[in-house]
Amino acid sequence: MRNTKFALVCGITFLAIIIFFFVSMNAGFIHIPLQNVLSTLFGHGTEEDHMTIFQFRLPRIILAILIGAGMAVAGAILQGASRNPLADPGILGINAGAGFVVVLYMFLGRGTSFLATKTSVFIMPFAAFFGALCAACLIYALAWKKGRVTPSRLLLVGIGVNAAFNSGITILQMKMEPTDFTKALVWLSGTIWSTSWQSVWTLCIWLLILLLFAFSKAYVLEVLNLGDPIAIGLGTNVERERRLLLIIAVAIAGGCVAVGGGITFLGLIAPHMAKMLVGSSYRKILPLSALIGSLLLLLADTLGRVIIAPAELPVGIVISILGVPYFVYLLLRKL
Amino acid sequence: MKKEKKAINKASSITWMIVAIGLLLISVIVSIHLGASNLSYKDIWTSLFHYDESNAAHVVVRELRLPRAIAAILVGSALAVSGSIMQSMTRNPLASPSILGVTAGSTFFIAIALAIVPAISFSKLMFCSFAGAGLGAGLVFGLIAFAKGGNSPVKLALAGSAISALLSSLSTFISLKYDISKDLSYWYAGSISSVQPQHIHFVVPFIVIGLVLALFLARSMTVLSLGDEIATGLGQRTHLVRLGGTIAVLLLTGASVSIAGMVGFVGLVVPHIVRFIVGQDYRIVIPFSAVFGSVLLIWADMAGRMINAPFETPVGAITALIGVPFFLYLARKDGRDF
């Protein structure tokens, strides 16, 4: 019974992703009719459509799907491992850490290399990933007390670290030229700025490995959710498993932030939606939240492209505006 | 025994107050003295009491340094007092203006105002700032009031960061669409470097009314910080006190945000330090918070002038750098320190 429902929900979400995949293809500054999209995909389209779709739209859409899945799973793992229903890479300051290092890099490079040369495409993800990792280590170390990390302490420390990185970002931003400043702002707000196939493949491989690893660890999350005493009683090395899970979550989030910027709230709401739909088994929550995350980010990216066309709204802002009301609802009702 | 302790407390608090006010005076003089060109103490003295318009040093003191020092005093005392009121009303050690979405709300309204009327006058911007501060605080307070078993430190911090995230996302949206992001960032970075005498004239009444109201409520605040049941049991009309406290908070934070932008963590840190020194009686805590807040902000402002001279570093960034370690310290105590 439960499993049929799980299959059904997954099927519907997957179908919705496919529908929005095509909607997103034809929406945007250049409007491409659906039949042209289809014929271009199968190799019969016009030159112009071919370029728009294969150079701009398709990589971006795939990235949105990948980042959405990654962020959602990272959020689900963080929530499970910290046993805190409100954990999210954005709220915990992991995004801010990544953002700080990226802005530092932009600042030191004086914007000359940003988005312009080949090297920055390689360096930016590493900078972001390095920042995310530093922030995560810092938060974990500061929340560590008497041999353990309690959920609420982790969250509060995260909020504090978030504020520290943000004020660092502000200091750097104030010294930037206006154009660099706007670039940094857009990046920090979360936007899928890279549309190269290279980043698609890199992120794809990165996520494939880590997501599979995460799915294989789903049972640990279930055990941890029974509470520390029971988990220890069942023979789990709680601190070690928790640390491992946190590292996986940070690695996933770091990769996503590197390509998608500081997207907040997605990692928070997708797992909750999944939990509401299929119950509290992490073996079901993880895959389903990946699907829901993809769907939401695809939706938000399409909206961000259309709302103030020809300008673009950073996708992270769309997610925040959609996500906060849901977050508030969670805060009021569920917790 | 108990009486004796109380007497000592009173005597020691008077001593502390004298020390604090002395510290404040010295800080003000040092902050007027230091700057792009250091002024002699004699010039400062004569410019205050025998003002001579033809003397350049006197003009610098009267037009630049003194307004800035006064702004630091006003903003510091306003934020520290509103922080201590918030902490006693919510009985939550993490309550403070920057956590409660006040500054994000004010930035949001200013973004709207700048987008609609780019050349808007300062007094109208101040009004927007007030309205926005009210909106931000109202949303977070409302959320906490309705949340199930609300008012734990974690929930307050979360509600505040969620509302702040929403409002600042909307501000970013507006600023990107209307291309005002850099203007807006100067506003919210938290700086008193460009403050002008007329701005100060505009906010002084609000801050003075707010401070007087806070002092007037101080006794009730002490009772309220014992908890609602006890306060009601002692015959206090808690709703009235809360209403008064909220008005004071809005006046103080609205006014300080409108001249200084986002100066975080002063309202969080100062009340804790003060309570650590003088105890829980808000009749003493509130005046002390005002003085210590002023001192802290004057020093933070001086640091902002010095760190990267001749450029200014926003004072808000400095206070955040001071405040975050303190916040983390509180977080490590699981927010139980009250």
Span A74-78, average pLDDT: 90
| Per-residue confidence band for B89, with pLDDT thresholds at 50, 70 and 90 | confident
Domain count, chain B: 1
Q: Answer whether B157 sits within 8 Å of A145, measured CB to CB.
A: no
pLDDT at B72 over 80: yes
Model pLDDT, residue B188: 64
* Secondary element (H or E) of residue A131: helix A118-143
Lowest mean pLDDT among A250-259, B75-84, B171-180: B171-180
In angstroms, the separation between the Cα of residue A214 and the nearest Cα of chain B is: 27
Residue at B52 is within a domain: no
Cβ–Cβ under 8 Å, residues B218 and B283: yes
What CATH number does residue B277 fall under?
1.10.3470.10
* pTM of the entire predicted model: 0.76
Q: Rg for chain A (alpha carbons), in Å?
A: 20
Render pLDDT for B281-334 as a digit per residue (tens, 0 to 9).
Answer: 888 888 888 998 999 998 888 888 877 666 677 787 788 888 888 878 877 775
Q: Answer whether B181 sits within 8 Å of A321, measured CB to CB.
A: no
The predicted complex's ipTM stands at 0.71
- Listing DSSP states for B9-25 in one string gives HHHHHHHHHHHHHHHHH
Model pLDDT, residue A73: 92
Scanning every residue of chain A, which has its alpha carbon at the shortest distance from the alpha carbon of B268?
A: A160
CA atoms of A28 and A14, how far apart (whole Å): 22
Q: Answer whether A143 sits within 8 Å of B170, measured CB to CB.
A: no
Cβ–Cβ under 8 Å, residues A184 and A176: yes
Domain hosting B119: range is: 71-332
Q: Which of 3.40.640.10, 2.60.40.1150, 3.40.50.300, 1.10.3470.10 would CATH assign to domain A2-334? A: 1.10.3470.10
For the ranges A294-298, B161-165, B239-243, the maximum mean pLDDT occurs at A294-298
Q: Which of A159, A172, A177, A186 to mutate to test the interface with B (most CBs of B within 10 A)?
A: A159
Residue at B271 is within a domain: yes
Q: Answer whether A321 sits within 8 Å of B163, measured CB to CB.
A: no
CA dihedral A293, A298, A299, A304 (to 10 degrees): 120
> A220 exposed, middle or buried (CB, 10 Å; 0-12, 13-18, 19+)?
buried
Residue A242 makes CB contacts below 8 A (sequence gap 6+) with A81, A82, A149, A224
Residue at B55 is within a domain: no
Residue A29 makes CB contacts below 8 A (sequence gap 6+) with A305, A309, A310
Tokens of B89: 């009303």
Phi, psi of A145 (to 5 degrees): -150, 135
Choice between A124 and A294, residue whose per-residue pLDDT is larger: A294
User: Of B295, B265, B264, B289, whose CA–CA distance to B275 is shortest?
Assistant: B289
Q: What residues of B are in contact with residue A167 (Cβ under 8 Å)? A: 264, 316-317, 320-321, 324
CA atoms of B85 and B104, how far apart (whole Å): 20
Residue at B19 is within a domain: no
Amino acid at residue number A95: N
| Domain ranges, ordered by start, for chain A | 2-334
CA atoms of A115 and A104, how far apart (whole Å): 15
B334 Cβ under 8 Å from any chain A Cβ: yes
Model pLDDT, residue B5: 46
The beta-carbon contacts of A102-107 under 8 Å, at least 24 apart in sequence, are A102/A127, A102/A128, A102/A131, A102/A187, A103/A169, A103/A172, A103/A173, A103/A184, A103/A187, A103/A188, A104/A172, A106/A176, A106/A180, A106/A183, A106/A184, A106/A187, A107/A172, A107/A175, A107/A176, A107/A180
User: Of B36, B84, B77, B43, whose CA–CA distance to B61 is shortest?
Assistant: B43
Q: Where are the alpha helices (DSSP H) in A175-314?
A: 178-189, 197-216, 218-224, 228-233, 238-260, 266-278, 282-307
Render pLDDT for A310-321 as a digit per residue (tens, 0 to 9).
Answer: 667 778 888 888
